[in-house]
């Protein structure tokens, strides 16, 4: 009777409702942990979920979030939240759990008065925290996500000897490659749990390293290949938990030396910490999430790419799991818009590219990429496309979507036109005139031909080309940056011809970019006085090491996705075959050193999680190329049309046509 009254109070709004911005989420948001036991009986299923008791911080109303309308620019979000008060869950000492029952209409209810015993039966112990569930949303989640999760959990239980199931069709009779089996075991050992549910994977689990630094934290960018691997495996709960918990961290107060960045910034990483509770019980503890927005990072650089990767993973989750209810949630929609507004904010820059400082992406140390690095632009373009696909159409979002579309057109034109380099374009730059002052200037950025280095003239093949690393006034960074070029293919930022040319270039320069271990993060290395000036004589970024042209196995998964999109999977298969010869024997290093990647990196952590996950994703995508659809994006016909219009009015192709009335507004 007490249970029925509690449910009625929740549904009527009288009970203690837990909103989506609250730290423990609704029970549906905790999803189904990997330890969940599911027993199906014919067409009806009896499901039980073990949930850890949340701290009574929920009833204290920590963090006031209100929205005047999703599209309203002056939406107010009060984000001053104490880190030791938000996102708490009691630790191992909290043994009480909430019961979950299914109503006759197919709606799931949390029974705050019940707990589960070891046999799955419901007993009558009271708990402190329960959520109010929206009936319609939960019905959708039950029919979509929950059923898929249950099916995959059943398949997982069929795996023998505790090994991981073999893809989407787990069977005890199917043999598993020993390297893949080892990789899955290592990936699972790197999983981090919060409130009893998986929430991410740590950066590295190296027992030989005496210097942990922040490698025991969950990094946003590092988790992306792990998340993709779990999605391809049909294990959606850890990705959903990761997306929702990191979303909550987005609204935290972020301050360094009395200055706070704009709303919408995602953390670079976070750590689950166990803290002691105040009170009479000396052994009572609780878990808290402690994020790092760059204020504790080496160099104190804010992670620009974290929010972009978060949007990309959110789309991949919906595409792979079929659970679109997550991206339709109000708090998720608001999180997407906060990231977009931060990226689309007006500034002094004349270019559509995103202006960032050095070290704000995968290359997180000083390497001369400040300005408009290709990696950020490719991720920016990809995130804009993903966000446009997921944003709910409504009047309040009209201005944001209009700004998004305009930026997509301008960004694609700018990168394709000014970042592209091949032998013909290199010869054109060699003949550039400088100091042009006019609206019709060909050398718009006043690039001096003497910037063309001798190594580039000899290195550029007759066939193929690539997108340069950076473009600023009087400066072109001619280095080849792998992630930026590869993700330009995946996202459709590069045209189809350019995408094929980039793969042609990688194939032509295989001995330099792949060598004994894929894949060079950039090429060539900064050496001599150039290395001293640009890196500040960084002892970790010495020539042909780490970010200075080191080789990173994690890039395998992006390369594989790009090759599959362009119908050239044999290139990726060759790279994977090379990696398999050494990577397991070398204990899954973070990176490799020397020109040909012959040495394990001098400061590389072993059992690096994204090296492990990158290999697994590459193998899974090669086994099922159709799965790459959750990552790749084709050229948008509207963008192609707009791009063609801009090309036709470009001064390089229309010099002298002063009376042309054809214009395109961006």
Token duo for residue 374: 């290709």
- 72 pLDDT higher than 50: no
Who wins on pLDDT, 122 or 642? 642
**Does the pLDDT of residue 107 top 60, yes or no?**
no
pLDDT tens-digit map of 331-343: 999 999 999 999 9
- 57 within domain boundaries: no
pLDDT at 257: 65
Strand partners, 551: 520, 592
* DSSP conformational letter for 229: H
**Longest distance between any two alpha carbons in the chain, whole Å:** 86
Q: Alpha-carbon Rg of the chain, whole angstroms?
A: 26
Sign of the alpha-carbon torsion through 438, 442, 448, 450 = negative
**SS3 call for 624:** coil
Q: What is the pLDDT of residue 650?
A: 58
Token output for 461: 């093949």
The answer to whether 429 touches 456, Cβ cutoff 8 Å, is no
Q: Give me the chain's average pLDDT, please.
A: 78
Number of H helices, E strands in the chain: 22, 18
By CB neighbour count within 10 A (0-12 exposed, 13-18 middle, 19+ buried), where does 92 fall?
A: exposed
Cα–Cα distance, 632 to 13 (Å, whole number) = 43
What residue ranges in 343-473 does DSSP mark as E strands?
A: 420-422, 465-472
**Dist CA 21 CA 87 (whole Å):** 10
Q: Decide if pLDDT at 128 tops 60.
A: no
**40 band by pLDDT with thresholds 50, 70 and 90:** very low
Interval 463-480: pLDDT, tens: 999 999 999 999 999 999
Q: Does a structural domain hold residue 44?
A: no
Token pair, residue 97, equals 């759990």
Structure tokens at 238: 């850890």
Which pLDDT score, from 0 to 100, does residue 336 have? Answer: 96
200 pLDDT more than 60: yes
- The pLDDT value recorded for residue 366 is 92
Q: What is the pLDDT of residue 561?
A: 98
Give the separation between CA 246 and CA 237, rounded to whole angstroms. Answer: 14
- Quick check: is 229 in a domain? yes
Q: How far apart are CA 584 and CA 238, in angstroms?
A: 25
d(CA 118, CA 80): 41
Q: pLDDT of 5-32, one tens digit each? A: 444 444 444 443 333 333 343 334 433 3
Q: What percent of the chain has pLDDT over 90?
A: 58
Is the separation of the CB atoms in 303 and 360 below 8 Å?
A: yes
Q: Give the model's pLDDT for residue 393.
A: 87
Most trustworthy range by pLDDT among 77-81, 82-86, 140-144, 243-247: 243-247
pLDDT above 70: residue 227: yes
Answer yes or no: is pLDDT of 186 > 50: yes
pLDDT value of position 335: 95
| Cα 316 from Cα 228, distance rounded (Å) | 8
In-domain check, residue 43: no
Q: How confident is the model at residue 346 (pLDDT cuts 50, 70, 90)?
A: confident
Half-sphere exposure of 310 (CA within 13 A, CB side): 33
Give the Cα separation of 390 and 314 in Å (integer).
Answer: 9
pLDDT band at 284 (very low <50, low <70, confident <90, very high): confident
- Which residue, chain included where needed, has tokens 């992006």? 558
Q: Where are the alpha helices (DSSP H) in 210-277?
A: 220-232, 237-249
pLDDT of residue 179: 97
Is residue 114 scored above 50 in pLDDT? no
Query: Is pLDDT of 401 > 70?
Result: yes
Residue 454's CB is within 10 A of a number of other CB atoms, namely 7
Mean pLDDT of 275-297: 84
638-662 pLDDT per residue, tens: 777 766 666 566 555 554 444 444 4
Is the model more confident about 78 or about 485? 485
**What pLDDT sits at residue 577?**
98
Please check whether residue 37 is in contact with residue 43, taking contact to mean a CB–CB distance below 8 angstroms: no
Rounded Cα gap, residues 525 and 601, in angstroms:
15
Under a CB-based contact definition with an 8 Å cutoff, are residues 221 and 362 in contact? Answer: yes
Quick check: 442 pLDDT over 70? yes
Q: Residue 372 is part of a domain; what is its CATH number?
A: 1.50.10.10
In a domain, 212, yes or no: yes
Three-class secondary structure of residue 572 per DSSP: helix
Chain segment 149-163, per-residue pLDDT in tens: 444 554 444 443 433
Q: Which residues pair with 47 in a beta bridge?
A: 38
Q: Per-residue pLDDT for 79 more than 70?
A: no
CA dist 418 to 145, 506, 666, Å?
Answer: 44, 20, 17
Burial of 414 (0-12, 13-18, 19+ CB in 10 A): middle
Residue 364: both structure tokens together: 């997180």
Residue 263 pLDDT > 60: yes
- Inside any domain, residue 657: no
Residue 149 domain-assigned?
Answer: no
Confidence of residue 372 (pLDDT cuts 50, 70, 90): very high
Which residues, at least 6 apart from 157, have a Cβ–Cβ distance to it below 8 Å? Answer: none
Q: Return the pLDDT at 141.
A: 46
Q: What is the pLDDT of residues 228-259, one digit of tens each?
A: 999 999 999 999 999 999 999 986 666 666 66
Is 126 part of a structural domain of the chain?
no
Tell the burial category of 355 from Cβ atoms under 10 Å away from its Cβ (0-12, 13-18, 19+): middle
pLDDT score for 140: 45
Give the mean model confidence (pLDDT) for residues 120-129: 36
3-state secondary structure at position 259: strand
- Number of structural domains (the chain) is 1
Q: Would residue 146 be called left, alpha or beta, if left means φ above 0 and alpha means ψ between -120 and 50 degrees?
A: alpha
Q: Do residues 537 and 543 touch, judged by C-beta distance below 8 A?
A: no
Domain that holds residue 570: 178-648
- Residue 589 confidence (pLDDT): 97
Q: What is the model's pLDDT at position 425?
A: 96
Query: What is the DSSP-derived secondary structure letter of residue 392?
Result: P
**Each residue of 500-539: pLDDT tens digit?**
999 999 999 999 999 999 999 999 999 999 999 999 999 9
Is the confidence at residue 164, as pLDDT, over 50?
no
For 439, the 3-state DSSP assignment is coil
Q: Collect all residues with Cβ–Cβ distance below 8 Å to 430 and sequence separation of at least 6.
A: 449, 452
595-648 pLDDT tens trace: 999 999 999 999 999 999 999 999 999 999 999 999 999 877 777 776 666 656
pLDDT category at 43 given cuts 50, 70, 90 is: very low
Lowest mean pLDDT among 345-354, 377-386, 560-569, 651-660: 651-660
Q: 272 and 287 in contact (C-beta within 8 Å)? A: yes
For the chain, what's the residue count?
666
Choose between 34 and 513: higher pLDDT. Answer: 513
What is the tens place of the pLDDT at every residue in 533-582?
A: 999 999 999 999 999 999 999 999 999 999 999 999 999 999 999 999 99
């Amino acid at each position: 009777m007490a249970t029925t009254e509690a449910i009625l109070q929740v549904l009527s709004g009288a009970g203690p409702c837990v909103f989506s911005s609250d730290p423990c989420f609704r029970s549906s948001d905790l999803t189904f942990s990997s330890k969940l036991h599911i027993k199906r009986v014919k067409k009806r299923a009896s499901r039980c979920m073990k949930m850890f008791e949340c701290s009574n911080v929920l009833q204290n109303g920590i963090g006031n979030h209100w929205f005047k309308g999703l599209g309203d620019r002056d939406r107010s979000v009060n984000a001053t939240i104490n880190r030791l008060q938000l996102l708490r869950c009691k630790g191992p000492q909290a043994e009480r759990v909430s019961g979950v029952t299914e109503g006759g209409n197919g709606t799931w209810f949390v029974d705050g008065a019940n707990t589960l015993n070891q046999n799955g039966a419901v007993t009558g112990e009271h708990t402190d925290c329960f959520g109010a569930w929206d009936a319609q949303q939960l019905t959708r989640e039950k029919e979509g996500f929950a059923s898929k999760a249950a099916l995959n959990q059943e398949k997982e239980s069929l795996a023998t000897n505790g090994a991981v199931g073999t893809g989407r069709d787990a069977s005890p009779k199917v043999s598993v490659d020993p390297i893949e089996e080892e990789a899955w075991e290592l990936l699972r050992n790197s999983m981090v749990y919060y409130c009893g549910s998986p929430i991410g994977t740590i950066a590295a689990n190296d027992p030989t390293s005496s210097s942990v630094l922040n490698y025991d934290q969950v990094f946003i960018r590092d988790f992306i290949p792990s998340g993709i691997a779990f999605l391809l495996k049909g294990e959606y709960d850890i990705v959903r938990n990761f997306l929702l918990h990191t979303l909550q961290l987005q609204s935290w107060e972020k301050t360094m030396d009395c200055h706070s960045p704009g709303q919408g910034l995602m953390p670079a990483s976070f750590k689950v910490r166990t803290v002691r509770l105040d009170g009479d019980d000396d052994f009572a503890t609780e878990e808290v999430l402690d994020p790092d927005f760059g204020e504790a990072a080496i160099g104190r650089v804010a992670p620009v790419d974290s929010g972009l990767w978060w949007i990309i993973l959110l789309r991949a989750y919906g595409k792979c799991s079929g659970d679109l209810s997550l991206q339709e949630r109000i708090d998720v929609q608001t999180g997407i818009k906060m990231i977009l507004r931060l990226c689309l904010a007006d500034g002094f820059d004349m270019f559509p590219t995103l202006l960032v400082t050095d070290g704000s992406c995968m290359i997180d140390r000083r390497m001369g990429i400040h300005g408009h690095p290709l990696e950020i632009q490719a991720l920016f373009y990809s995130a804009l496309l993903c966000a446009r696909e997921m944003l709910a159409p409504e009047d309040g979002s009209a201005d944001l979507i209009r700004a998004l579309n305009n930026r997509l057109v301008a960004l694609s034109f700018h990168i394709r036109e000014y970042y592209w380099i091949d032998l013909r374009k290199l010869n054109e730059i060699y003949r550039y005139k400088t100091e042009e002052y006019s609206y019709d200037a060909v050398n718009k950025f006043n690039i001096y031909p003497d910037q063309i280095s001798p190594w580039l003239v000899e290195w550029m093949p007759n066939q193929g080309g690539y997108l340069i690393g950076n473009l600023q006034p009087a400066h072109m960074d001619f280095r080849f940056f792998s992630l930026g070029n590869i993700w330009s293919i995946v996202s459709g930022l590069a045209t189809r011809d350019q995408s094929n040319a980039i793969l042609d270039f990688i194939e032509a320069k295989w001995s330099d970019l792949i060598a004994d271990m894929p894949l060079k993060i950039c090429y060539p290395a900064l050496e001599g006085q150039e290395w001293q000036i640009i890196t500040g004589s960084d002892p970790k970024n010495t020539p042909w090491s780490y970010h200075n042209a080191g080789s990173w196995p994690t890039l395998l998964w992006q390369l594989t996705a790009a090759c599959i999109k362009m119908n050239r999977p044999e290139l990726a298969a060759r790279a994977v075959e090379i990696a398999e010869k050494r990577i397991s024997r070398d204990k899954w290093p973070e990176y490799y050193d020397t020109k040909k990647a012959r040495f394990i990196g001098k400061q590389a952590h072993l059992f690096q999680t994204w090296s492990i996950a990158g290999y697994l994703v590459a193998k899974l995508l090669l086994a099922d190329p159709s799965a790459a659809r959750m990552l790749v994006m084709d050229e948008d016909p509207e963008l192609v049309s707009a791009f063609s219009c801009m090309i036709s009015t470009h001064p390089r192709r229309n010099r002298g046509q002063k009376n042309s009335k054809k214009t395109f507004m961006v």
